Amino acid sequence: MNKTTSLATTVTLCLALTMTACSNSNSDEGGGKAAGDGKQITLKVLRSWPQPVYSGYFDEVIKEYEQSHPNIKIQAEAIYDETLKDKMKVILGGSDVPDIFFSWGSEYAQKYIRAGVVKDVSSYLENDPAWKNSFIPSALKSYQYEGKTYGIPLRLLGKFFVYNKEIFAKHQLQEPKTYDEFMKLCETLKNAGVTPIAYGQQDIWASIHYETAFNLMMVNPEVRAKDYNYKTGEWTNPGYVDALKKFKELQDKGYFNSNVNTTPADMALQSFLAGKSAMYYSYSEEFPQMVEAMGDNWDVFPMPPMEGEDGDLKSIVGGADGFVVSSESKHPDEAIDFLKFLTSKANAEKMVKMNTWQSSVIGAVNKETSFPQNVKAMQLLLDRGVNEWLDVQINSKLVDVYWTSAAPLMEGFKSPEDIMKEVQQVAKEVKELK
């Protein structure tokens, strides 16, 4: 996902979709039919990433696939994220639905699943255990719903603190292993006249990454699972208030730069790249910018665990993106065959090399295909697992409360308690609407 993505534009998806999609079963017929039985067919693919720097990889993979499958033509279209979301609402209500289309995981994909517009691909994976087991488990989990799998992950992104090695060395600092160590590190930097963390939340998605991490650590996993489900969420656990207090504390103690509400996220990143701050909470898609601007003068560590808390102290904030197959597709076997080709180990490694991306395929990011910091980050994602960004886990109306509350929280106009009362009220309204 190129920035954590707003779900607000998809709130009305289930209402907008025509019922024709729901007339088809979501379960496949078992798969197994060889792709390409001699009949000429066209597979329509709608993807994200239209930038020319990324398109070369897809063009090359499509060309190779068509050469080995002369009866199959891949008709691909690439659209920017925001445009793609709007277009999907239109085309899913019509008759010209792509066979394969891009989707983020978790609640975003589940809107499609509940509306019956994407195909259950479970049996394809079960019939090819080597393919199924090639994915990082947390990436595949992003597309699972009620025991079935409805999508194929292409990438897996994680959220890490990146730090300036020269600044750390100058002040004799080490990567923190606990959150207490992290706070002491920030205090040392501040006292030395160094901005500890570059942060900008003019782009409202930025705050959700910190809030995801603190919720993850400070609220029991069973409680979070219940609350994140729009059917059962109550949001009364005091851990949510404590999580917002921890977030606000970073500003109150002076560990962020000034004027965070008017600072764009990209500007905060550029400040870090220029050596004006010691750390930046970055998602791994941004890593190539570190390489270009800083060479090897940077490294990564995950959000340090808060000892003594009742939540998940292991998982890393992140998320998968990839593709789903339309339940309206007349060529589901061929669609799956193409996705299997796209996510093969060889093509996953090619994607990492050509696009400097993070792959959902185990081992595709390695010392031959990528730089050391990315290899380190991907190993952490594999070892520790991923807990997805809050704004793809919860209902979009709840996301709006979190997003619109970040600025007044930092300004002191809203307390954590005020914000969670709003969340609780909206959670009640969401349950009544469903």
The tens digit of pLDDT for each residue in 176-212 reads 999 999 999 999 999 999 999 999 999 888 999 999 9
Is residue 293 a contact partner of residue 177, using CB atoms and an 8 Å limit?
Answer: no
At 295, the pLDDT band (50, 70, 90 cuts) reads very high
Predicted pLDDT of residue 16: 40
Identify the residue with better confidence: 254 or 110: 254
- Report the C-alpha gap between 107 and 282 in whole angstroms: 23
For the stretch 152-167, pLDDT in tens is 999 999 999 999 999 9
Global pTM reads 0.85
| DSSP code of residue 4 | P
Helices (H) and strands (E) in the chain, counts: 20, 11
Predicted pLDDT of residue 396: 87
At 132, the pLDDT band (50, 70, 90 cuts) reads very high
End-to-end CA distance of the chain: 27
- Nearest-5° Cα angle at 415, 413 to 419: 105
Residue 318 forms beta bridges with which residues? 158, 388
Tell me what the mean pLDDT of segment 87-114 comes to.
85
Confidence check: pLDDT of 138 > 80: yes
Tell me what the mean pLDDT of segment 339-362 comes to.
96
Predicted pLDDT of residue 37: 58
Identify the residue with better confidence: 305 or 396: 305
